[in-house]
Amino acid sequence: MATNETVSPHLDRRTDLLDPATLVQLGGIDIVARQVVHGFLLGLHRSPNRGFSAEFAELRAYQPGDDLRTLDWRMFARSDRFYVKQYEEETNLRAYMLIDVSESMAWSSRSGLPSKLWYAKHLAAALSLILVRQGDIVGLMAFHEKIVRQIRARGGKVHWRMLLQHLNALESGGRTDAESAIRKVAMRLKRKGLVILLSDLLVEPAETAKALAYLQHTGHEVLVFHLVDPGERDLPTTGETRFVDPETGESLQVSVADMRRQYQQAVEDAVAEWTTKLTSRGIAYSTIGTDEPLSRALRLYLWKRQRLP
C-alpha cells in the first residue's frame, strides 16, 4: 500500500514523460489519455516559457492581485501550488485525425513495446482531449486502401468519449494507400481545418506528398507524424534477420553484418526524402519513435498550433 502511495502521485503529475511500454500498463485508452494530457498541461504551467504555453493553459500560476474566486483548489491539492482558472474565447479550430490502420501499423519489434497503431490511437486520444478542452472540434478518419471509418468533427466531452470508443475499435488490416485516401479526405472535408496524419508512411513518398500538398492547397493546415518503431531505425549488430512485409507476406533472410550500414543509410535517406518533400511545401513533418513519450508529439502539435492563423 505504501508503495502505491509513493508512485501514484508521480504518475499522476507527469505521466506524459513515461515511455509507451510503461503507459500500456496503466489501463485503457481513456485513462492513459487523461493522465498524459494532465501531466503535459502541468508541465506547461510550470514552464518559464509563458509565451509558448499561454494559449493552451486552462490554468496559470497565481499572481498577487488575482481574484481568489478563480483559484483551482483541486490543482492545489494535487500539486501544492496555486493556479487560477482562465476563461478564454473558444477558438473553434476544426481538426481531423487521419489514422493509418494498414497491416504494417500492427507491428512491434520487441515484446512489451506497443505497436505503431497503439501509439497512433493513444496519441490521437490525447490530442483530441486537448482540442475539446480548448473548445475546439475534432473528427476522425481511419484508412488503409480506403477510408474505413469516418467520424464527423464535433466538440465536447461526450463527443470525446465517443471518439475513444471508435479509436478503441480500430484494427489493422489491408495495404497502405495513403495517396488515394488523402485525396478522398480532401474531397470530403468541406470546411478548412487542421489535418493530423498519423502513419508509418510505408508508401511511395512522391505521390503521397503531392496528395498532402493538394490537401494543403485546398485550405487545410497539415501536420504529419511519421511513426517509427525502433526496430525500423536500426538493426542488431550481428546474426541473421528475416525481413517480412506484413502487408504482402513476402520475406527475405539476410546477414545483419553484411547490410546493417546500408540499411541505416536507406532509413536516413527515406526520412530525408520525406522531410524535403513535405517541408518544402510548408507541411509540418516529424518522425516519432514508438518508444518515445507521447509528450514529444504533443509539444510538436503545440508548435504547429502556435503558427495557425
| 121 and 224 both lie in a single domain | yes
DSSP-assigned letters across all residues of 209-242: HHHHHHHHHTT-EEEEEEEE-HHHH---SSSEEE
* pTM over the 0.75 mark: yes
219 and 128 fall within a common domain: yes
Split into its structural domains, the chain has a count of 2
Instruction: Assess whether 72 and 109 both reside in one domain.
Output: no
Instruction: Write the pLDDT tens digit of every residue in 248-306.
Output: 666 666 656 556 677 778 889 999 999 999 999 989 999 999 999 999 999 988 887 76
- The domain boundary, picked from 36, 55, 85, lies at 85
**Together in a domain, 73 and 102:** no
Which of 44, 62, 85 is the C-terminal boundary of a domain?
85
Q: How many residues does the chain have?
A: 309
- Among the residue ranges 48-62, 83-97, 182-196, the one predicted with the least confidence is 48-62
Mean pLDDT of 190-217: 91
Quote the cell numbers at residue 180: 488515394
What is the residue range of 293's domain?
A: 94-306
CB atoms within 10 A of CB 264: 13
Average pLDDT over residues 235-254: 61
Greatest alpha-carbon pair distance for the chain in Å reads 69
Give the tens place of pLDDT for each residue, 217-228: 888 999 999 999
Boundary-marking domain end, from 58, 85, 112 = 85
Q: What pLDDT shows up at residue 185? A: 86
**Are both 180 and 110 inside the same structural domain?**
yes
pLDDT in tens, 64-123: 766 777 777 777 776 777 777 665 444 478 999 999 999 999 999 889 999 999 999 999
Count of CB atoms within 10 A of residue 204's CB? Answer: 11
